Amino acid sequence: MMMKKLLVWGLIIMGFASCKHETILTGLPHPDDEPPVVLPCPDSIVDVDGNLYQVIIVDGTCWMASNLRVSRYNNGDSIPLETNGGSWVQLNNGAQCNYDNDSVNLDIYGKLYNGYSVMDNRGLCPTGWKVPHDSDWVDMANYLGGESVAGDKLKSLDLWFGPGTPATDEIGFTAKPGGARIIQGNGAFSSIGNMGHWWSSKENGSEVLVNRQITYANPNLAQASNSKKVGFSVRCIRAN
């Protein structure tokens, strides 16, 4: 009889212990259960020169809605302006220019930056913003239905040459055909009206960066790799 009582009390005590253990497990919060803090995108941002950029939201990521126009790094140091094509192709440090060295093109298309300026640790984008990695461009393309169709959905409704393919500017990105400054032709300007090129921060070797490009004749957002000596447009995204 005594053994039965001890067995019953043992089961009761084990039951209480089991219940208490379950309460501890389910009652305490776990750090991984905390939702991430997502800050709302601002309507606009200002660079170190005071240039204003409207902001759009693309699948939760804040993007500038126009190309960068800044002439200084974010710490206030000047990004060298290089107007001479022969000198441009000899550079291995950051530089910027306007297409055809014309301020009218600056107002429409923003500046062209070489890849060295993109990777400079003084920062090309405003505080809290960065040059997008290629994976950020992939995320945007996927949101728009894939790289094979994203180009047309990003194009501005004007400025593109030729019949091309239909531009819809679906998310307000307003991608304009700002052309490039290339190595060939002694630092010639090329493809304004036909193509838009944007740097990413993804390196493909010490002297090469991955970029994204859109052409008037195709609907895709194509990936390419180019020397850091080339001049392309830049968009910024919020860093967090």
First to last CA, the chain: 69
Length of the chain: 240
191-223 residue pLDDT tens: 999 999 999 999 999 999 999 999 999 999 999
224-237 residue pLDDT tens: 999 999 999 999 99
Q: What is the pLDDT of residue 94?
A: 98
Whether residue 17 is predicted with pLDDT greater than 60 in this model: the reply is no
H or E element in which residue 202 lies: strand 195-203
Q: Nearest 5°: CA angle at 50, between 106 and 168?
A: 50
Q: What is the pLDDT of residue 15?
A: 40
Rounded CA separation 78/94 (Å)? 10
Residue 72: helix, strand or coil by DSSP? strand
Rounded CA separation 7/13 (Å)? 10
In the predicted model, what is the mean pLDDT of residues 12-20?
39
Whether residue 26 is predicted with pLDDT greater than 70 in this model: the reply is no
Strand 195-203's sheet: what is its strand order?
A: 195-203, 208-215, 222-227
Tokens of 186: 């002694």
Q: What is the pLDDT of residue 89?
A: 98
Tokens of 120: 């400079």
Of 1-15, 108-122, 125-139, 180-194, the poorest mean pLDDT is in 1-15
Q: Which amino acid is at 223?
A: Q
Q: Measured between alpha carbons, how far is residue 230 from residues 27, 46, 85, 183, 234 in Å?
A: 58, 26, 11, 6, 12
In the predicted model, what is the mean pLDDT of residues 55-61?
97
Tokens of 111: 């500046």
Q: Residue 164 — pLDDT band, cuts 50, 70, 90?
A: confident
